[in-house]
């Protein structure tokens, strides 16, 4: 984040698979000693190392990339489409990392692993005109050992560079946190932070915006003590910050080649207004939620293009993640209720109750919390989950196996008895009917021929086949007549939407729709076994449904089921209650919470009754 160069550096040798593959340079020593980038260094080294090997006619250098896989880093006298044999040998060395010779018909392949830190970081594969033996092999190994030392040194240099970069990032983050935490109030902390960022990072302008009521508001701008929040410039900053929050990620302008494309319309407009050369903004995230945005600007120097250095985006994301909780805490303290009012209340209590008001208030609170609930009387109500059902509800099932042809009805529609809900495809049954008709014709023809010849046995068989064919045709006709699925009663379809399943198979007996009458409603209430003793038939109560929170539903308990159903870690008994005054908009399937009136008791007993019952059972279980 501190290196905002005008050009983007190419990958270094320690980047492995990301290093571009280049052909052998015209001057290998110049490319090796004064490389323009990491790819040129590798190509020069490979050309020099291979040229020092007697009989070498081609070479490929593989290096490990960020993903841990080996990739081609440099070629010498080998075309990119002729590396299959080299790749095969390199894969063999990965399984057993030691020098390997592979004799071919007209040449020999030599593989040499490049080790760094106990891990194979690269592999050099050379093609030799003849197979080395004896002294030639020892000289070859010594030459490879000394040559590969340069690559190992380059890899270690890359690791050292990475360590220095991480230390620099840690120091930058420490300095920014110190600048932010130097002020107790949010305004001072934010201003100190945006003023410190340009000095520490090389950016020209820094801005901080915080999320309030779904919009980002600009709170601090570097080198500016105060600004009018109603100006167009401030609106442009806030629009760019909103763009970063909406996409939940860093937005960089101009976008680096090959990077993820983000929507940057507001960033382009802000850059045009400010004459900026580059902009980058990162959301301030706290527990995965955006609370603000940190935006940085780099000015344009003349007509030259400005490009942010590689890694700037990741470093800014790290800085934003570290600063976000601290900024959020200070910003919340600035609010009236959770911030200033809390401080005023604390100072007032200290003046009245002494220097340690928390202990006095805690004692008073404990006394009130223990005493008042025992004195206050309230209604004892049994709370349980409730679901609305129709007083009468019937299902429309699939009469035969088949495929769904059409389904004009769906959940939520009003239907009358006999209305078409769905129809099954008749193609298969029509084919069966045609086949049965053909069998009938064949059986009749066979019967006529047997009667004409006077062959009673053949006539009996033909007559049996005819009866079987007629029965099959009748069965197919009966199944064809039942392909239309109609509403069993008039009412509201409470379940079933087959519009997305046209052509899907259905089995005989599958419930396709449920229709409920609308001239009466009932509640299915699942009461815990710990509360069952308080419920009796005839009791009344009210239920508040999620879909109708402003219209409590009065009901009267009708019956209590004799069996229980497990649910939520306990046994629950089903209570059926009749809705006595249904509100408008009541629909089957609505869920909510029902409370059944069960007398009156103290507030403490109402709160602790369930815990007391469980404690009594536990005591009964363990006391001898």
**pLDDT 10s digits, 342-385:** 666 666 666 656 666 666 677 778 877 777 777 788 888 888 89
pLDDT of residue 3 exceeding 60, the answer is no
Q: Is 610 helix (H, G, I), strand (E, B) or coil?
A: helix
Q: Is 133 helix (H, G, I), strand (E, B) or coil?
A: coil
pLDDT of residue 22 exceeding 60, the answer is no
What's the confidence (pLDDT) of residue 543? 92
CA distance 125 to 153: 19
Q: What token pair was written down for 471?
A: 């029965």
What's the confidence (pLDDT) of residue 350? 64
Helices (H) and strands (E) in the chain, counts: 13, 24
pLDDT of residue 5 exceeding 80, the answer is no
What's the confidence (pLDDT) of residue 16? 34
Contact 290, 268 (CB under 8 A): no
- Provide the pLDDT confidence category of residue 544 given band limits of 50, 70 and 90: very high
What's the confidence (pLDDT) of residue 13? 37
Pick from 433, 404, 377, 391: nearest CA to 504: 404
Hey, do 13-162 and 187-334 end up sharing a CATH topology, with the first three levels equal? yes
Domain residue ranges in the chain: 13-162, 187-334, 393-513, 520-599
Listed in sequence order, the DSSP H helices in 256-340 are: 265-274, 312-333
- Provide the pLDDT confidence category of residue 541 given band limits of 50, 70 and 90: very high
pLDDT of residue 105 exceeding 50, the answer is yes
- Provide the pLDDT confidence category of residue 588 given band limits of 50, 70 and 90: confident
Burial (CB < 10 A; 0-12, 13-18, 19+), residue 549, is: exposed
pLDDT of residue 593 exceeding 90, the answer is yes
Q: What is the DSSP letter of 250?
A: -
Pick from 398, 390, 388, 473: nearest CA to 429: 473
Pick from 40, 11, 9: nearest CA to 26: 40
Q: Are strands 420-424 and 402-406 parallel, antiparallel or unpaired?
A: antiparallel
Q: What token pair was written down for 186?
A: 């949010």
Q: Is 304 helix (H, G, I), strand (E, B) or coil?
A: coil
Domain 520-599: give its CATH code.
2.40.30.170
**Average pLDDT, stretch 446-458?**
79
Which is higher by pLDDT, 353 or 132? 132
pLDDT of residue 263 exceeding 80, the answer is yes
Q: What token pair was written down for 45?
A: 């080294």
What's the confidence (pLDDT) of residue 463? 81
What's the confidence (pLDDT) of residue 595? 92
Pick from 303, 254, 299: nearest CA to 280: 254
Q: Is 424 helix (H, G, I), strand (E, B) or coil?
A: strand
Which of the residue ranges 233-247, 395-409, 429-443 has the most confident prediction, judged by mean pLDDT?
233-247
Using a pLDDT cut of 70, give the percent of the chain over it: 84
Pick from 376, 399, 412, 429: nearest CA to 518: 412
pLDDT of residue 12 exceeding 70, the answer is no
Domain 187-334 has CATH 3.30.420.310: no
Backbone torsions φ then ψ of 65, nearest 5 degrees: -95, -175
Contact 593, 544 (CB under 8 A): yes
Domain 13-162: give its CATH code.
3.30.450.30
- Provide the pLDDT confidence category of residue 336 given band limits of 50, 70 and 90: low
Residue 511: in which H helix or E strand, if any?
Answer: strand 511-516
Over the chain, what is the mean pLDDT? Answer: 78
């Amino acid at each position: 984040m501190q290196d905002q160069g005008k050009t983007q550096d190419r990958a270094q040798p320690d980047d492995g698979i990301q290093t571009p593959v280049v052909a052998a340079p015209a001057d290998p020593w110049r490319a090796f000693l004064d490389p323009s980038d990491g790819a040129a260094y590798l190509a020069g080294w490979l050309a020099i190392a291979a040229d020092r090997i007697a009989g070498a006619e081609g070479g490929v250098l593989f290096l490990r990339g960020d993903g841990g896989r080996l990739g081609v880093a440099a070629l010498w006298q080998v075309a990119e489409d002729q590396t299959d044999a080299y790749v095969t040998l390199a894969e063999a060395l990965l399984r057993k990392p030691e020098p390997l010779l592979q004799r071919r018909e007209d040449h020999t392949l030599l593989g040499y692993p490049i080790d760094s830190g106990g891990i194979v970081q690269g592999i050099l594969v050379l093609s030799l005109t003849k197979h080395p033996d004896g002294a030639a092999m020892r000289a070859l190994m010594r030459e490879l050992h000394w040559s590969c030392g340069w690559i190992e040194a380059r890899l270690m240099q890359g690791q050292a560079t990475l360590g220095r970069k991480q230390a620099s990032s840690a120091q930058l983050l420490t300095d920014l946190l110190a600048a932010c935490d130097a002020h107790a109030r949010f305004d001072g902390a934010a201003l100190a932070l945006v003023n410190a960022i340009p000095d520490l990072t090389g950016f020209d302008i820094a801005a901080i915006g915080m999320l309030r009521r779904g919009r980002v508001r600009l709170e601090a701008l570097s080198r500016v003590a105060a600004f009018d929040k109603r100006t167009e410039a401030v609106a442009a900053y806030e629009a760019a910050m909103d763009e970063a929050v909406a996409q939940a990620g860093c937005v960089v302008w101009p976008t680096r080649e090959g990077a993820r494309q983000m929507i940057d319309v507001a960033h382009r407009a802000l850059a045009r207004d400010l004459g900026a050369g580059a902009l980058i903004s990162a959301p301030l995230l706290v527990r995965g939620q955006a609370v603000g945005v940190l935006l940085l600007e780099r000015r344009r120097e003349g007509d030259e293009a400005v490009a942010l250095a590689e890694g700037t985006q990741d470093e800014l994301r790290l800085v934003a993640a570290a600063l976000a909780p601290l900024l959020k805490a200070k910003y919340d303290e600035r609010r009236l209720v959770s911030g200033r009012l809390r401080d005023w209340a604390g100072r007032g209590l200290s003046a009245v109750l002494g220097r340690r008001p928390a202990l006095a208030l805690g004692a008073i609170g404990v006394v009130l919390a223990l005493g008042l609930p025992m004195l206050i009387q309230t209604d004892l109500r049994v709370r349980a989950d409730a679901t609305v059902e129709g007083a009468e509800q019937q299902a429309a099932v699939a009469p035969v196996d088949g495929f769904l042809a059409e389904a004009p009805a769906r959940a939520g529609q009003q239907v009358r008895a006999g209305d078409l809900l769905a129809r099954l495809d008749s193609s298969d049954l029509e084919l069966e009917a045609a086949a049965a008709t053909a069998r009938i014709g064949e059986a009749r023809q066979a019967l006529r021929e047997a009667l004409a010849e006077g062959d009673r046995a053949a006539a009996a068989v033909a007559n049996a086949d005819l009866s079987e064919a007629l029965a099959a045709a009748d069965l197919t006709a009966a199944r064809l007549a039942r392909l239309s699925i109609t509403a069993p009663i008039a009412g509201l379809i409470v379940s079933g939407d087959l519009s997305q399943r046209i052509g899907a198979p259905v089995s005989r007996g599958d419930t396709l729709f449920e229709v409920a009458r609308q001239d009466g409603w009932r509640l299915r209430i699942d009461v815990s076994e710990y509360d069952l003793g308080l419920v009796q038939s005839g009791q009344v109560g009210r239920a508040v449904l999620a879909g109708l929170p402003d219209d409590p539903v009065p009901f009267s308990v009708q019956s209590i089921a004799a069996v229980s159903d497990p649910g939520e870690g306990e046994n629950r008994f089903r209570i059926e209650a009749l809705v006595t005054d249904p509100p408008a908009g009541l629909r089957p399937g609505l869920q909510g919470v029902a409370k059944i009136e069960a007398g009156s008791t103290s507030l403490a007993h109402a709160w602790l009754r369930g815990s007391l019952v469980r404690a009594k059972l536990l005591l009964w279980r363990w006391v001898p």
